[in-house]
Amino acid sequence: MIKNFRHKGLEQFFLTGSKAGIQPAHAGKLARQLDRLDHAKQPEDMNVAGWKLHRLTGELNAHYSIWVNGNWRITFCFEDQNAILVDYQDDH
């Protein structure tokens, strides 16, 4: 279950379908990724072909990233089988 978001636009998209805070072209893929993340119990549950799941390094070594499109990523952590600190960002 997704417990909290860092990115308010992504949270609103997840809760209401509003595309106001996201790249509208990403909506379909984001919906699939967020649905899977909401049902995931561990980071490995997000290891879907083409999503490029990987663990971040350095200060963010508890965080994971999946690819949305171009430079856009969703990052997240897990705590007690719940996704937390879910963010949507352009990594460049």
- CB–CB of 46/38 below 8 Å? no
- Taking CA atoms, 7 is separated from 3, 16, 50, 51, in Å, by 13, 14, 23, 19
Give, as one character, the DSSP assignment of residue 46.
G
Query: In the annotation, is 26 catalytic?
Result: no
- CB–CB of 86/76 below 8 Å? yes
Residue keyed to tokens 């949270």 = 11
* Catalytic annotation, pick one of 7, 26, 63, 92: 92
> What positions carry a catalytic annotation?
92
